[in-house]
Structure 1
Amino acid sequence: MTGSSVLFDAPGPRARVRNRVISAVTVIVVVAVAWLVYTRLEAKGQLTAAKWEPFLTGNLWRTYILPGIEGTLTAAAVSIALALVLGFVLGVGRLSRNIVLRWVSSVIVEFFRAVPVLIMMIFAYFLYANYDVFPSKHLALAGVITGLTLYNGAVIAEIVRAGVHALPKGQAEAASALGLTSGQTMRSILLPQAVTSMLPVLISQVVVVLKDTALGYQITFVELVRQGTNVGSSYGNYIPALIVIALLMISLNFALSWLATKLEARMRRSRKGPAPMEAEPLEFQGDRSRGV
């Protein structure tokens, strides 16, 4: 058996040496650029201890950081839940045998996939404001949730459609042979299997939703990135503030990815069938009359 990979052939001795040289040069360049940036910021006094001291006080966290985290998580959680529901509805609609339902679902999906998320947020914000749909203190949150839900729901609909189409055709044929309707086949056979295969893509889309909440800055939504810039303007420490906000966003994304990965592993284990029973060895019984 050769050492070839699925995506590319295993590198030979010369390729391994070349890869090591390229990796070493890349590391040196990255370290040099990082050192240059650090020295420039240090020379301008952006990384002094006084710039970091406000983050050691509880007042800054209560006034800026914690409300930003709350806004980000609230918008992301509601948007993820609504986008999953909308995505599965539209995805199943695109797979429907009803041509009208399939056509309407396709138009909705393609439209909201083509419109930028920020435009949908701004449009929803002013639409709700003009018609007093939500109280003024919740307008920005409603606009962010609407934009994220519509865009990511359309993306999830395509994920659902691709996941169902990736299943073997024999699944639907076997269900039809058993007398199941198309709706029963979709609910009981196709979707449960497709969800497991779609989980990695869905997890990545959930992380995208969390990061896209930062776009709510444009409609005065109180989220983490906006609060970071407010900290920088209030304390004159933009660079430390953005570094702290970046670390917090990375931590939130890693935590969300970790939880989603655990959920994926649990779902995959729960969908596995019971372990096959080991067959007991059969004893050979010969013809006793012949003494065998």
Structure 2
Amino acid sequence: MSSVLYDAQGPRAKRRNIIFTVVFLLALAALLWWVFSTLNDKGQLEWALWEPFFTGTEAWSTYIWPGLQNTLKAAFLAVIIAMPLGAVLGIARLSDHAWVRVPAGIVVEFFRAIPVLVLMIFGLALFAEYTGVSSDDRPLYAVVTGLVLYNASVLAEIVRAGILSLPKGQSEAAMAIGLRKNQLMRLVLLPQAVTAMLPAIVSQLVVIVKDTALGGAVLTFPELLASANTMSGYYGANVIASFTVVAVLFIALNFALTTFASWLEARLRRSKRGTGAVLGAGDVDDINAAEVGGPHKTDGV
């Protein structure tokens, strides 16, 4: 059966697709068997290497849990600083005033062009030379600094793009009834843009969680991935087992984050369904009065 988007497949096309599917599944099964047999030949599937993660709590309490705590701490600090900073920079880039728009654009483009690892290294040197932060805390400060500077710049572009993606009629209608620029941004544009931006924002939050591993690889920050190196050496070079457990934890963490974001996006979309009411000039006067604490008339009304 044909549709507007595609034509129905004929008998030859169906047979060809079945053949391609079977070949792909056979190739995938062969690849998995090769990986399994290689690991088995190298002794990486022996129960002794995997036993610490399933019998006893030493591996979890000594290595995995402290590393996971540091990962979550760095990611949490980076998120709560980068998100409002990115929102401010993104809105500043849309300002009508060049003295606000140009500096914000320079900051965003500068830090967005520098690799986050370089920012972390510079942050570590900065805290070592010009602050009294202890050597034990410097890696955490450097990781958070690098993540904030880079991801705030990326989030600023997400915010700017989300606002610009809204129809111009939204702004024109709001200005026609007398809303000021800040009211237009707070009451009309941002509430709608947040829902549209949410998938991109969540993707960037996942990047923040994963990029904490750069601090462990270069700055000796004791996060989750760094704990796998120490743990694999302690338990007899069980590298595959240790990194598999850590990878599963990262997958579970990011999956929980994206699942929560999907739920939040659906809830926001349901809560923002319009009632069909039309906002008039009298309603704008009520908004202005509520904001300044008294009656206020808009210009031209």
TM-score normalised over the length of structure 2: 0.86
1:264 aligned partner, one-letter code: E
SS of the aligned residue for 1:135 comes to coil
1:133 Cα deviation after fit: 4.4
Contact 2:224 2:246 in 1 (8 A): yes
1:38 aligned partner, one-letter code: F
Contact 2:2 2:8 in 1 (8 A): no
Q: Give CA-to-partner distance per residue, 1:220-265, whole Å, 9 cap, x none.
A: 1111111111111221100111111111111111111111111111
Distance across 1 between alignment mates of 2:7 and 2:152: 40
1:192 Cα deviation after fit: 1.0
1:106 Cα deviation after fit: 0.8
- 1:240 equivalent in structure 2: 241
TM-score normalised over the length of structure 1: 0.88
Q: Give CA-to-partner distance per residue, 1:73-113, whole Å, 9 cap, x none.
A: 11111111211111101100110001121111111111111
The answer as to 2:3 corresponding to 1:3 is yes
- In structure 1, runs of 5+ residues without a counterpart are 277-292
Distance across 1 between alignment mates of 2:17 and 2:106: 47
1:16 Cα deviation after fit: 4.1
- 1:25 equivalent in structure 2: 23
1:15 Cα deviation after fit: 4.0
- What percent of counterpart residues are identical? 48
- 2:289 equivalent in structure 1: none
Could you say which structure has the larger radius of gyration? 1
Q: What is the aligned length?
A: 273
- 2:190 equivalent in structure 1: 191
Contact 2:128 2:138 in 1 (8 A): yes
Distance across 1 between alignment mates of 2:78 and 2:44: 36
2:28 aligned partner, one-letter code: V
The answer as to 2:9 corresponding to 1:12 is yes
1:274 Cα deviation after fit: 4.3
1:18 Cα deviation after fit: 3.1
CA 46–77 in structure 1, closer or farther in 2 if over 3 Å, else same: same
CA 17–73 in structure 1, closer or farther in 2 if over 3 Å, else same: farther
Q: How does 1:1-292 map to 2 (within 5 A)?
A: 3-5=3-5, 9=6, 12-13=9-10, 14-55=12-53, 56-217=55-216, 218-235=218-235, 236-274=237-275
2:100 aligned partner, one-letter code: L
Distance across 2 between alignment mates of 1:95 and 1:133: 38
1:180 Cα deviation after fit: 2.0
Contact 2:79 2:205 in 1 (8 A): yes
Distance across 2 between alignment mates of 1:134 and 1:23: 58
1:258 aligned partner, one-letter code: T
1:48 aligned partner, one-letter code: E
- In structure 2, runs of 5+ residues without a counterpart are 278-301
CA RMSD of aligned residues (A): 1.8
* Segment drifting more, 176-185 vs 68-77: 176-185
Distance across 2 between alignment mates of 1:73 and 1:157: 23
SS of the aligned residue for 2:136 comes to helix
1:47 aligned partner, one-letter code: L
Distance across 2 between alignment mates of 1:11 and 1:154: 46
